[in-house]
Amino acid sequence: MKTAKFGGSSLASSEQIRKVCDIITADTARRLVIVSAPGKRTSQDTKVTDLLIEAAEARLAHREGTAQMERVEERFVEISDGLGLATADVDPIVDDLRQRLSAPIDDEGLYLDTMKAAGEANCARLTAAFLRHQGADAHYIDPGEAGMILSDEPGNARVLQPSYGKLRALRDRSGITIFPGFFGYTEAGRLVTFPRGGSDITGAILAAAIDAELYENFTDVDSVFAANPRLVDTPRAVAEITYREMRELSYAGFSVFHDEALEPVVRAGIPVAVKNTNNPD
């Protein structure tokens, strides 16, 4: 059983999500899939998570935040339409976004986390819906239902050890499980998020919890490179790299992995493969 995580650039549009779903269904071992929020479609675009933060900050500043949230709604409706999904698939997503925006603000940090997590949660719902539309046995699962228990630190949460035993049960689920990255719940049931880029952390935790044969991290580059391909022409691709080398790169600002995302797979001894959604082979 493999764990596959797809980053925001892999989920930025309906065209990209179609590619993701083709990759998922091409290998029956890919039964646990972690998704990020939709990222940028172009270099001038805005990530859904950033739009959600703008909406939350507007609400916290005693403005409505409606204009910012409408842009988020438009992104999800556009993706849904491009996938040929029914109104019944996207209407609950729009309702969820509006409910989050208008929710009572008892704690600003928790409110912000609830808003930020909407991108991953609803992208996972859309991905599962499209897989079912294609005839696959796919299901969305909420991290709370699955047992992703985190420390009570909004915006900077850490996984608690009991999570691993609970999450291991995901091995026994039938079909394809689509799991939203980036967030979980405290022992008291409050939604909290990992640091930004936390979908990588979610993926590594799940890979360790189910003792995956492989953790695949799909992004928009073909490989780990010896230099930044955005700064250096034709840098050398690194076919294999040790955990220690990868960790050093992540600490140095290497963008494929969040620096905390390696710890669970290192401890569990699970191999990691970096792959390109646009060139999966």
The residue among 261 and 161 whose pLDDT is bigger is 161
Q: What domains can you pick out in the chain, each with its CATH number?
A: 2-221+256-276 (3.40.1160.10)
Quick one: pLDDT at residue 250? 55
What lies within 8 Å, CB to CB, of 137 at 6+ separation is 174, 175, 176
pLDDT in tens, 229-257: 666 666 566 556 565 666 565 554 555 55
Quick one: pLDDT at residue 104? 95
Q: Residue 193 is encoded by which pair of tokens?
A: 């998020």
Half-sphere exposure of 30 (CA within 13 A, CB side): 21
197: confidence class by pLDDT, cuts 50, 70, 90: confident
CA–CA gap between residue 70 and residue 263 (Å, rounded): 38
- How many CB atoms lie under 10 A from the CB of residue 48? 27
Please check the confidence at residue 196 and state whether its pLDDT lies above 90: no
Amino acid 141 reads: I
